[in-house]
Amino acid sequence: MLSTKTRAVTLSAAFASTLALAACGASNEGGSTDSSGATTSQEQLSGTLNGAGSSAQQAAMQGWTAGYSSIQPDVTVNYDPVGSGGGREQFLAGGVDFAGSDAALTDEELTTAQERCGSDGVFELPDYISAIAVVYNLPGVDDLNLSPDTLAGIFTGAITTWDDAAIAADNEGVDLPSTTITPVHRADESGTTKNFTDYLAQAASSVWTDKASGEWPLSGGEAANQTSGMVSAVQAGEGAIGYADESQAGDLGVAKIGVGSEFVAPSPEAAAAVVENSELVSGRGDYDFAYSINRTTTSADEYPIVLVSYHIGCISNDDATQADLLKSFLGYVISEDGQQAGADAAGSAPLSDTLREQAQTAIDAITSGS
């Protein structure tokens, strides 16, 4: 019989930025929640579940583990927010039970995943949806509008001062300073970067001519590791601009982005709306729910610079205990209670019923191959 305890501890002391997820909660004798958020009876479990990846999921993971601890207090969930690329690498190498990633597996990575997971394949669940905020540090400018081409021009280095004519055209009547612009990008391979560059490549293709990439494709600007480093770099430099999960923006300025004829601020509702109106990537497995986001929407109800962060794992697991822990934890994550816990901690957009039901089919399929 399995027992349960959910506390989150650091996965490796080697990472100074490892997330210590203190998930202190009262023991729940009665069970867990199903995908609709209803309480169900569940065998109490014990063991350790190891995950690594997206630093954008950091705040949400705190909410998830804290909530899960009240249901399964004898399960330990370790999560190292090393970044999406590092998380996928650790998962593919067999070092962790699941990865958190702000980008779906590439075709090459899917081949490697097949080698690890076998013929049953992988699951990719879009469990965390959040807007990527364009954050800036420009004292005296509380509201800022940026069209797609202007934003791309800033990050290519073509636009170098805040009073440039292109920025002025987006911000009629605003007194813009002549401060030099310092664009900040991620130094590490990042799913946030891949989503941001995917937006630029689709919405401003005449200015941004590079393809979407998790590694920043251009020279110049300032580089920072992980989400926390990005935010710190923008905070430290007047005139700086960067991109980060909206939940991590703090007191920095957040730009509105041109969508159709309007400028739209990032919000959980607008982020969820653009995902709902996007399509799954074709040609993947039965439980691979990777989305191709519609970055060129013209609806003012949608915000196109959105991060869909996935939980990635094997459908078939070698160990029955690990399969049970994975099903239990991810079942909580996608539940109404779990999504609300993530939203409260991170400001993310709770999954719609459609996305929750979709994810539940994959969680139900998780099994032990032994």
Annotated binding-site residue numbers:
54-56, 84, 102, 190-192
CA dist., res. 151 & res. 170, Å (int): 10
In the chain the first and final C-alpha atoms are separated, in Å, by: 18
Q: Describe the chain by its helix, strand, coil percentages, rounded to 5.
A: 35, 20, 45
Tokens of 167: 């920025």
- The helix (run of H) or strand (run of E) holding residue 131 is strand 122-136
Binding-site annotation: residue ranges for phosphate: 54-56, 84, 102, 190-192
- Taking the CB of residue 112, how many other CB atoms lie within 10 A of it? 16
Q: Which residues, 6 or more positions from 164, have their beta carbon under 8 angstroms from its beta carbon?
A: none
Which amino acid belongs to residue 155?
Answer: F
Answer for the pair 246, 266: CB distance below 8 angstroms, yes or no. Answer: yes
CA dist., res. 74 & res. 76, Å (int): 7
Tokens of 368: 């032990």
Tokens of 304: 């196109």
Answer for the pair 347, 140: CB distance below 8 angstroms, yes or no. Answer: no
Query: Is the dihedral angle over the CA atoms 184, 189, 192, 196 positive or is it negative?
Result: positive
User: For 101, phi and psi rounded to 5 degrees?
Assistant: -145, 135
